C-alpha cells in the first residue's frame, strides 16, 4: 500500500502519472472517494502517462455525470474511463460495456465502482488497484487530499 498527501490538483495528477507506470493491459483501477475528491483529476494523470500524442485527438477529461464511459484510444494502451455514479445494478455494468472492457486488453478505470455491490475480483484478468481519495478536515486547506493506493489483486 502507498500513501500520499496532495496539496493541489496538479500534484494529484503527478501522483497518478507516476502510479500509471505500474499499469498494464487488463488492469483495473477503482477510484473511491466523495464528490469532488479528485477521482477525475487522478484519471487525467493516468491518461497523461499513456497518451502522449495529443495531436491525435486525446481530449481533456470531463467529469461526466451523464457520460458513463470515455475511451482514450490514441494511446500506447487504450484507457477506458467509467463513471458509475448514476448506476445501481449489475446489468447496467453489462450494458455499458464494463465487463467487455475488462476482458479486452485495455486499462479500465472506474469512479464510483463501490456503488455496485459485486465482487470485482471475479472479473479482473490483470491487477486490481483501489485508489482512495479523501479531502483533509475542514480548515486545513481546501486543496489538501489524502491518497491511498492499494493493490487488491
Shortest Cβ 63–Mg ion spacing (Å): 4
Look at residue 101 and give the partner it binds from Mg ion, ligand ATP, none, a contact being a CB closer than 5 to 8 Å depending on partner kind.
none
Q: Is the dihedral of CA 19, 73, 145, 87 positive or negative?
A: negative
Per-residue buried b or exposed e for 123-152, using 16+ beta carbons within 10 Å of the residue's own CB: ebebebbbbbbebeeeeeeeeebebebeee
Shortest Cβ 39–Mg ion spacing (Å): 5
Give which of 61, 57, 62, 84 is closest to 73, Cα–Cα: 57
The SS3 assignment for 129 reads: strand
Identified binder of Mg ion from the candidate list 11, 29, 33, 39, rule CB under 5 A: 39
Shortest Cβ 125–Mg ion spacing (Å): 25
Look at residue 35 and give the partner it binds from ligand ATP, Mg ion, none, a contact being a CB closer than 5 to 8 Å depending on partner kind.
ligand ATP
Closest residue to ligand ATP using C-beta atoms: 38
Residue 101 makes contact with Mg ion by CB under 5 A: no
| Binding residues for Mg ion (CB under 5 A) | 39-40, 63, 111
Amino acid at each position: 500500500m502507498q500513501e500520499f498527501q496532495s496539496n493541489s490538483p496538479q500534484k494529484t495528477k503527478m501522483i497518478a502519472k507516476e502510479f500509471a507506470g505500474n499499469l498494464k493491459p487488463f488492469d483495473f483501477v477503482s477510484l473511491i472517494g466523495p464528490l469532488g475528491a479528485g477521482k477525475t483529476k487522478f484519471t487525467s494523470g493516468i491518461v497523461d502517462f499513456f497518451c502522449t500524442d495529443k495531436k491525435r485527438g486525446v481530449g481533456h477529461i470531463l467529469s461526466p455525470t451523464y457520460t458513463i464511459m470515455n475511451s482514450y484510444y490514441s494511446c500506447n494502451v487504450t484507457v477506458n474511463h467509467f463513471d458509475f455514479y448514476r448506476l445501481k445494478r449489475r446489468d447496467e455494468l453489462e450494458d455499458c460495456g464494463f465487463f467487455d472492457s475488462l476482458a479486452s486488453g485495455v486499462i479500465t478505470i472506474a469512479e464510483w465502482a463501490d456503488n455496485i455491490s459485486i465482487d470485482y475480483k471475479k472479473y479482473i484478468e490483470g491487477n486490481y488497484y483501489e485508489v482512495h481519495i479523501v479531502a483533509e478536515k475542514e480548515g486545513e486547506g481546501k486543496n489538501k487530499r489524502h491518497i491511498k493506493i492499494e493493490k487488491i489483486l
